[in-house]
Structure 1
Amino acid sequence: MRSFDYFYAEHQPYIGKIDSMTDNISLPTYYFGHVISVLKQSGIGIEKWLASQRLDLAKLLEADARVSVQQFDGLIKTVIGTRGFEDLGLSVGKRLEIAHHGDFGLAILNSATLRQVLDFHVKFLPIRVPLIKLNYDIDGSQVLVTLTDEHWQGSLHRAVIEAVMIAIVNMLHVIKFQDNSQLLIDVVKFDYAKPNYEQKYQYIKAAKLEFDKPNCSLLFSKQFIDKPLASADDFSFQRAVLNCQKELDSYLHQNLSTRYRVIRLLKQDDGIGLSLDDIAQQLHISKRSLHRSLEREGTSFKLLLQKIKIDRAVTLLQHGKTVTEVADLLNYSDCANFTRAFKTWFGVAPKEWIARNRVTNATK
């Protein structure tokens, strides 16, 4: 019996054209100083370590310095893999304070509410950690903040998530409310197995820690989301946001392919309903320029939209949505049109795919 993986692989020539999105991405060096400090304390030679990726300390100290994802991965793999520094992410995350984030941190400190803090993270986290996405939802009486890793795998995934999660938890605890109440984080969840240095996770200020969960997230009571913050200053917040927007615009135009920027917009909650005109407007370029840019990168808006629909259709079906519900959520005019599109992607109708996938999972 053929599984979803089989059908996905079968259509890889179609899908694979748009899978590699990290080739042109670079990372800011904001936090390299903290990594270096941790490594120095462990007796690791920094010059040789940086030289392994054709870097040196002087380059990292330059204004607007960045390193490629490949260089970053190589450096961190060396430390974790050959030096056994498994808790590197945890060690770095513990050092990060709100003052270390530049204008990003200033915007947080001057926000009016936690909702504004989270909205700011949703939009601007890429200028600090480009391949980690933050979203939040209000579910009943709780706020669920979720981190999604769009690149790293294995030990690097754990290290990056550790650092980012601790930095966010630290930030949330630094924020003070006007009524002097204290934010309480009910639970922090991780999508990987409990590490052998689990006792060091006690540094994370949360009532409960959980591992081997479907995602990386934290939860706190909804009562905190709109409480006025003690240090709120709208003028300072807006100035910091303007600086962050300039940084984001520069980053998007200089470091990301058009393909990647389009995919990020399409992956937003309502992005699947965006047209080519809508995307061009949000990227501040003409429709014709957008079309040509994607063409130069070997793809098209239609192909990218199809990929997003494929991914979302599979996710929705795997989570129990009916074919009719999925067709509606993906903006198809009717179920028949969605079924035809699905058969084009996978060679079978959605109901047959569901049945086959269910059987395959049951035999694992």
Structure 2
Amino acid sequence: MSIRIMDSIITYSLATHNTLGIDVSCEHLIKATDELQLIDTCLDAANKKRPLLAIGGGSNIVLTDSFKGIVVLIATKGINVVEDQDCFHLSVAAGENWHELVQFCLTHNMPGLENLALIPGSVGAAPIQNIGAYGADFSQFCEWVEYLDLTTGERVRLDAEQCLFDYRDSIFKSTLKDKAVILNVGLRLEKEWRPNLSYGPLQQLSATTLTPTMIFDCICATRSSKLPDPAALGNVGSFFKNPIVSSEHFTQLQQEYPAIVGYPVNVDKVKLAAGWLIENAGLKGHAIGGAAIHLKQALVIVNVDKATGADVCTLAREVIQRVNQIYSVYLEVEPRIIGAVGERELNDA
């Protein structure tokens, strides 16, 4: 924990607590290693109406200012498993590392999550974003989410349907935004394993010799080849959502850009590859201050030279504007933008 003393005011650096590596500070930093401590700390801040920021792995936030409040590092641990004839039912503490959970499940012969391997961040962050990759997403395996209601002080459990999961979205980003701190997550893994080979490089695997570990290894190799390691080059993974457009709009774009990449959602909608849109717009390597579009994967914004949150947000806005000008497609950002007292919109950062 890095401590700074300026004019007799002690602040704590958050540079190592966000994967972009943005160097801002906070007034109070508390590491909550057990659930009771996490609940007490969050309720105390809520009751005193102090700004509160709960961080897991810090892999989905852009810090634009030093935080004028309490930052809680969620470090609670625990994985409990019960099983019935058909499924394994897991109860997982919010502070567990997501990728380590995927490894744990494979080690204990509970496959299913392998397509979601190597996604950075904590288990508690997974339902907020409805994390997903390579043809799978969190909502497919979620049974329930338990959270602390900051307005009532109560523990609340929602089933998967009540979480209102959508593409990189959930109730925790809308109705419960700034009102909930996730405590535990319930997952359901079916014992009858059904491999998911719907995406890209997975289609090259042989179905006759296939194992969950083979999918896990393929996903890890693919992600490592495209996405930079945050420990080496600061980033939050995919910065932009893949936009969904009408089939008619996609057909129009295909006529002008035959190589455009899109995946049917249904008969009326197509999901576009945001990375292709950004790369085809000539934005790979484009930089603002210390932030740049990654040269290997245009979906990723990287911290190449002491980037500030303002650098990152300005670059993101330029990308959105350019893509909209060329394709009449509006990109949305995946990470949360955090200002001095809480979450804010990209255009206000």
- TM-score higher than 0.5: no
Between Structure 1 and Structure 2, the one with more strand by share is: 2
Between Structure 1 and Structure 2, the one with more helix by share is: 1
Decide which structure has the larger Cα Rg and report it.
1
